[in-house]
Amino acid sequence: MDIAGSVALVTGANRGIGRRFVEQLIERGASKVYATARRPELVDIPGVEVLAVDITDGATITAAAAAASDVTLLINNAGIATGGSLLTDDLADVRRELDTHFWGTLAMIRAFAPVIEHNGGGAILNVLSALSWFASPGAGGYSSAKAAEWNMTNAVRLELAPRGISVHGVHVGAVDTDLMADYDGPKMDPTAVARVSLDGVERNAAEIVADDWSRMVKASLAGEPEEFYARLSA
């Protein structure tokens, strides 16, 4: 897919990686970019069309699909991180993670796949995580939700291919955004994440691995989990 000339919609576009996606899309010549957020008043990027979308609210998704009926590229970026324990913290937080990353992303795909197909085909990009492939203390809900979203991405890729829609997933470790403000370690530039992701869409890469950390985690899946988690603990 060529980014130039595409009509793109980005969720969670008011900050972080989502904002950088919007900027990169404009820079690469997308003919129109819909920047969506739960609080649309926070989107301050010139030259975009702003829509209110909460991906856990089906009514806002339906309204967005009707308003953005020319979309050919959907970027599912919106996400949350509650930082709770699966065993001891409020189960409502775990449900929020799954409602956002799995059910919310799937709802966006279900709403926009017919739109993209009607417009002659296109692409969907899901922002996943290295935590799709491993678990970390304090991120049990997030990693569980991302693992579910990863395999959902694989499943809808198979279903949408005959309809002229390619589906891509990008995996990345720590990124320098508000979500990772408390993380004390190397972080990837969110602009670089957006750039690498869109490069992957253009070369039709099903799975885009954005950084060395994610490549290491992916490679570890061929080994024994106890070995990986021993290295992680060390």
Is residue 82 included in any domain, yes or no?
A: yes
With bands split at pLDDT 50, 70 and 90, how would you rate the model's confidence at 184?
Answer: low
- Assigned domain for 1 exists: no
The two tokens of residue 52 are: 């209110």
Would you call 34 a catalytic residue per the annotation? no
- The pLDDT tens digits for 123-145 are 999 999 999 999 998 899 999 99
Q: What is the pLDDT of residues 10-20, one digit of tens each?
A: 999 999 999 99
Q: Nearest Cα to 13, choosing from 48, 64, 61, 62?
A: 48
Does 183 map to a domain? Answer: yes
Structural domain span for residue 64: 7-233
- Residue 72 lies inside a defined structural domain of this protein: yes
Beta carbons of 26 and 6 less than 8 angstroms apart: no
Residue 108 vs residue 189, higher pLDDT: 108
For the cut 70, the answer to whether the pLDDT of residue 186 exceeds it is: no
Secondary structure (DSSP) of 34-62: EEEESSGGG---TT-EEEE--TT-HHHHH
Examine residue 40 and state whether it is found in any structural domain, yes or no. yes
What is the mean predicted confidence (pLDDT) over 103-118? Answer: 98
Q: How confident is residue 225, by pLDDT bands cut at 50, 70 and 90?
A: very high
CATH number, domain containing residue 168? 3.40.50.720
Is 90 a domain residue?
A: yes
Q: Which of 32, 146, 183, 229 is catalytic?
A: 146
Catalytic residue among 32, 142, 218, 229: 142
How many separate domains does the chain show?
1
146-181 pLDDT per residue, tens? 999 999 999 999 999 999 999 999 999 876 566 665
Q: What is the mean pLDDT of the chain?
A: 94
Which pTM does this prediction carry? 0.95
Q: Is residue 155 part of a domain?
A: yes
Kind plus residue range of the DSSP H or E element containing 108: helix 105-118
Above 70 in pLDDT, residue 182? no
pLDDT digits (tens, 9 = 90+) for 69-91: 999 999 999 999 998 899 999 99
Domain-embedded: residue 2: no
